[in-house]
């Protein structure tokens, strides 16, 4: 975060990712929300993270989607899951 009252895109992308794992302080959530209202790129990044998170919720044993309203094919979800695994390995 910079010394300003506003986050930069780099800060927001990191913080948006953090919100997937833990609850951020209230003032950070407000600053992120304000930034997302003004920056379509960061808002799109957040939507993509949410989609990836939703798509990766697949039962490893059966391959069944936990949430059946996903519109991605089984192959697409598998490719995304494998890509995410390879990112975590590096």
User: How high is the pLDDT of residue 54?
Assistant: 82
Distance CA 84, CA 69 (A): 21
71-85 pLDDT, tens digit each: 778 888 888 888 887
pLDDT for 1 equals 42
Return d(Cα 20, Cα 11) in angstroms, integer.
Answer: 15
Domain ranges of the chain: 1-50, 56-90
Of 45, 51, 47, 48, nearest in space to 77 by CA: 51
Q: What percent of the chain has pLDDT over 90?
A: 38
Residue closest to 51 by CA, chosen among 12, 16, 23:
16
Confidence of residue 52 (pLDDT cuts 50, 70, 90): confident
**Over 90: is that where the pLDDT of 44 sits?**
yes
Q: Residue 57's pLDDT is what?
A: 73
Say yes or no to pLDDT of 60 above 70.
Answer: no
């Amino acid at each position: 975060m910079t010394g300003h009252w506003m986050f930069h895109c780099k800060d927001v992308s990191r913080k948006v990712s953090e919100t997937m794992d833990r609850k951020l302080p209230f003032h950070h959530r407000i600053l992120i929300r304000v930034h997302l209202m003004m920056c379509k790129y960061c808002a799109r990044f957040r939507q993509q993270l949410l989609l990836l998170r939703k798509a990766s919720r697949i039962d490893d044993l059966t391959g069944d989607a936990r949430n059946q309203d996903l519109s991605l094919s089984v192959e697409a979800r598998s490719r995304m899951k494998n890509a995410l695994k390879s990112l975590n390995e590096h």
